[in-house]
Chains A and B, each alone.
Chain A
């Protein structure tokens, strides 16, 4: 395993990074929501912050945006100390939350005007930004509609437009695609790529594992601690030494039970419509692993079983990492 969770511990914060955090800790009573995390987010990257619900993703973002103060640790955002001077970085960052945080009882135009006013945009710049946002969100001609009447995909793009109306250098997105259909999610990620290509650093939390592959870098947080960090390729390579078989079978429930007991199978779980079986690095060669398992399963009565070796997905890594935690 090449990632060392201690690598950054105790090193000075890095003012050149978009975000640089050392020992960041937030406790609510006895509960440590974020427990001493160390991470550097390089500028201009799409940084995916992954973890199950309640693992500390939102709390981390709130500390980084200066909304709440941590109990311990250091945090630089765009080189500014957000713990001592939370107001300094605010003009240069943007934030979009899992809730649709525009004013529903204001029109599209009024929402944009409000946020442009908050950042004190000069009129000509506002005009340009407004045009850009309306085009991007596909809302031309609907400027005077109340945002309450927009459907989710449009609202979300408008919210992105409002959150970036001041051209932030760093954008925090907290589960931005929650409750959005797959097509709208794809469109939304296209917009995020667009921002990234213009040099905006994106700090995205999500629990959609397929979205994780869209990121340049990933960090996994679990129970307030970072348990993995690196590029998707690195993470796939480093964190799984085992091999994965995708198993399709008529009765996945029974097969899952069988696999969980089977010798040589480290782990088995449902993945979409099929099963993933994690095989401890056995002696079988590249083409031998699948026949080895299907043979045994046919003997056990699963006549229709098919298996194929697949590269571990981020989801495989994630399940694997979490199951390894104490």
Chain B
């Protein structure tokens, strides 16, 4: 391998990158815009959920329950149907997402020191909304119980249920804190893979690849000369996007920078490698684009970025462990939210190293086998 020729290839690559106006936008402007746009979407908390209250008790206690729901900010009480039959059409039409049913005799039961059941009806058609909504409702009930216990000085074991939900690490349950780090990783993956997947196949289409391999340029030299400029740009891109994520969305950062940098860096390396691999085995740019799409969609769905891995069917879970994004998200969330260090994330980081080695090994083999066919 001649360092001089690698430098020459890098010089050429930088000249070409600099002259590609679309590329710079794709590399720096697009990810930032996507982050901001999607950031608001994924981080949107459940607020002002359209709520119906069916108060069959009509006592001071029932009014107190309604008031505490109304003041929480999560629920907007929009209807007071007089029974479940009147509730159904409201739910069917989507006017109401969640309903709180206070049965007759609630106050009486509580006064007698008995458990008082509270009905919560949730529109399950949007499971995200349903689970978050019912979670909040549970919290409010728990707080109500606690207040009552304090006020009355009753024996803790007796009335109500201690349904206090303790939310670890993210006390405000702000989605933004867990979603932004994942989004940063996902967006970086999209843009770097999309760009990298074109890098080699474009030269193949134009015939410049064939021309270069008639010269003394070696395949290793070509690969290093190709990847290095992209890797350097990826570092710039990563810093920019991560900083925007931190400061625009004010994600509390509890971890150490070195963990985030190593995690993101390794992830970028695997993304570059995958893009490169796609580019090496594709015949046309179009084919490369489609392949990237096919890799991207399962990555998003199965990596735990959108749906928690814990809630996936056991037969699917192994697939999600084959996706680099899975590990990147664990590392970033762990580091941002929990402040986990190298020790806690060692497994994930090592798996990413292994991915990088395997992917670049495959790329090297692909260079030998496919470039000239």
In this assembly, does A119 line the interface, its C-beta being within 8 Å of a C-beta of chain B? Answer: yes
Identify which of B4, B12, B214, B216 contacts A114 (C-beta below 8 A). B12
Q: How far is the CA of A103 from the CA of B16 in the complex (A)?
A: 9
Chain A residue nearest to B2 (CB atoms) is A120
Do residues A106 and B12 form an inter-chain contact, with CB atoms below 8 A? yes
Contacts of A67 in B (CB 8 A): 210, 213-214, 372
- Chain B 11-46 near chain A by CB (<8 Å), digits 1 or 0: 110011001100000000000000000000000000
The total of interchain contacts (Cβ-Cβ below 8 angstroms) comes to: 66
Do residues B208 and A103 form an inter-chain contact, with CB atoms below 8 A? yes
> Which bucket holds chain A's interface residue count?
20 to 34
B residues 286-316 with Cβ under 8 Å of A? none
Chain A residue nearest to B19 (CB atoms) is A105
Chain B residue nearest to A28 (CB atoms) is B373
Do residues B15 and A99 form an inter-chain contact, with CB atoms below 8 A? no
- On whether A65 and B208 interact (CB within 8 A), knowing A103-B16, A114-B12, the answer reads no
Contacts of A172 in B (CB 8 A): 214
Contacts of A102 in B (CB 8 A): 208, 211
Chain B residue nearest to A120 (CB atoms) is B4
Question: Taking beta carbons and an 8 Å cutoff, which residues of B are in contact with A?
Answer: 4-5, 8, 11-12, 15-16, 19-20, 206-208, 210-218, 372-373
What does DSSP make chain B's interface, helix, strand, loop or mixed?
Answer: helix
Contacts of A146 in B (CB 8 A): 19
In the complex, what's the smallest C-beta–C-beta distance from B94 to chain A, in angstroms? 53
Chain B residue nearest to A114 (CB atoms) is B12
In this assembly, does A13 line the interface, its C-beta being within 8 Å of a C-beta of chain B? Answer: no
Q: How far is the CA of A65 from the CA of B373 in the complex (A)?
A: 13
Interface-facing stretch out of A89-97, A127-135, A243-251, A287-295: A89-97
Q: How far is the CA of A68 from the CA of B217 in the complex (A)?
A: 15
Q: How far is the CA of A163 from the CA of B19 in the complex (A)?
A: 24
Do residues A118 and B217 form an inter-chain contact, with CB atoms below 8 A? yes
Q: How far is the CA of A95 from the CA of B12 in the complex (A)?
A: 20
Do residues B214 and A65 form an inter-chain contact, with CB atoms below 8 A? yes
Q: How far is the CA of A118 from the CA of B217 in the complex (A)?
A: 7
- On whether A119 and B372 interact (CB within 8 A), knowing A99-B206, A104-B206, the answer reads no
- On whether A115 and B207 interact (CB within 8 A), knowing A103-B16, A106-B16, the answer reads no
Do residues B211 and A101 form an inter-chain contact, with CB atoms below 8 A? yes
Do residues A101 and B5 form an inter-chain contact, with CB atoms below 8 A? no
Chain A residue nearest to B218 (CB atoms) is A87
In this assembly, does A167 line the interface, its C-beta being within 8 Å of a C-beta of chain B? Answer: no
Contacts of A106 in B (CB 8 A): 12, 15-16
In this assembly, does A302 line the interface, its C-beta being within 8 Å of a C-beta of chain B? Answer: no
Chain B residue nearest to A64 (CB atoms) is B214
Do residues B12 and A97 form an inter-chain contact, with CB atoms below 8 A? no
Q: How far is the CA of A164 from the CA of B214 in the complex (A)?
A: 12
Q: How far is the CA of A87 from the CA of B16 in the complex (A)?
A: 27
Contacts of B15 in A (CB 8 A): 105-106, 110
Contacts of B213 in A (CB 8 A): 67
- Chain A 46-71 near chain B by CB (<8 Å), digits 1 or 0: 00000000000000001001111000
Contacts of B12 in A (CB 8 A): 103, 106, 110, 114
- Complex A-B: 26 CB contacts under 8 Å: A65-B214, A67-B210, A87-B216, A87-B218, A90-B215, A90-B216, A95-B211, A95-B214, A97-B207, A101-B208, A101-B210, A101-B211, A102-B208, A102-B211, A103-B12, A103-B208, A105-B15, A105-B16, A105-B19, A106-B12, A110-B15, A114-B11, A114-B12, A117-B4, A117-B5, A118-B215
